């Protein structure tokens, strides 16, 4: 068995192959130069550096300058909506559903836990507990048989205050990054 392993390592030795390749290249180069050819060395250029847009630099400087020191993020992005408490929505808040620009009175959602995005969807006598706005939208659309390719959730759910409907997304956009970080329950 050891002889077999020895022959395998000798035939498949990558170091020998590299040495053989270099020898073959050196011979071909020598033959080429002997015939009167000239080998030019190509100097590789440094990779091109990406030029930054001056407006993005200004945005980054503004965002860094506004930092209150309480957020643990260094970027410009807002945190992911992980709880209703981030938007100061309390347990028991009734969320209305708006599909195709019309508020649907048959379907409502009630926030059950503000520490996350858990809610109960009420459709007639049915009560379905879902976790997350996207899952809530999927459930509602499957019940109502309204198809959607990419459910987002926060565009169909909203809060109605004094006859004016406001989506969860627009409430989220109304908060700054620092406010969202400070409102997190964890």
pLDDT digit string, tens, across residues 45-81: 777 777 766 655 555 555 555 544 454 555 678 888 8
Tokens of 121: 């969807």
| Contact between residue 144 and residue 136 where contact means Cβ atoms under 8 Å apart | no
Q: Is 131 helix (H, G, I), strand (E, B) or coil?
A: strand
When the pLDDT of each residue in the chain is averaged and rounded to a whole number, the result is 80
Query: Which has more pLDDT, 50 or 143?
Result: 143
Tokens of 177: 């990054």
Beta bridge partners of 158: 96, 167
Q: Give the residue among 44, 96, 63, 39 at the shortest CA–CA distance from 178.
A: 63
Residue 144 reports pLDDT greater than 60: yes
Measured distance CA(49)–CA(166) in Å, rounded: 44
Confidence class for position 4, pLDDT limits 50, 70, 90: low
Contacts of residue 140, defined as CB under 8 A and 6 or more positions apart, other chains included, come to 97, 99, 107, 121, 123, 156
- Residues 23-52 have a mean pLDDT of 79
Query: Which has more pLDDT, 154 or 50?
Result: 154
- Burial level of 120, CB count in 10 A (0-12/13-18/19+)? middle
Contacts of residue 162, defined as CB under 8 A and 6 or more positions apart, other chains included, come to none
Residue 15: predicted pLDDT: 61
């Amino acid at each position: 068995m050891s002889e077999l392993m020895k022959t395998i390592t000798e035939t498949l030795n990558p170091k020998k192959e590299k040495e053989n390749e270099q020898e073959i290249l050196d011979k071909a180069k020598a033959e080429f130069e002997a015939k009167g050819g000239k080998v030019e060395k190509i100097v590789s250029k440094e990779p091109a550096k990406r030029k930054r847009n001056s407006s993005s630099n200004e945005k980054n400087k503004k965002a860094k300058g506004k930092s209150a020191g309480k957020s643990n993020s260094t970027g410009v992005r807002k945190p992911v909506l992980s709880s209703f408490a981030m938007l100061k929505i309390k347990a028991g808040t009734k969320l209305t559903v708006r599909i195709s620009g019309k508020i649907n009175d048959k379907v409502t959602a009630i926030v059950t836990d503000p520490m996350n995005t858990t809610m109960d969807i009420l459709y007639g006598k049915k009560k379905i507990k879902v976790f997350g706005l996207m899952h809530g939208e999927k459930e509602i659309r499957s019940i109502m048989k309204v198809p959607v390719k990419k459910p987002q959730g926060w565009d169909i759910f909203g809060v109605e205050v004094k006859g004016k409907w406001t989506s969860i997304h627009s409430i989220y956009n109304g908060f700054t990054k620092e406010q969202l970080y400070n409102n997190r329950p964890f």
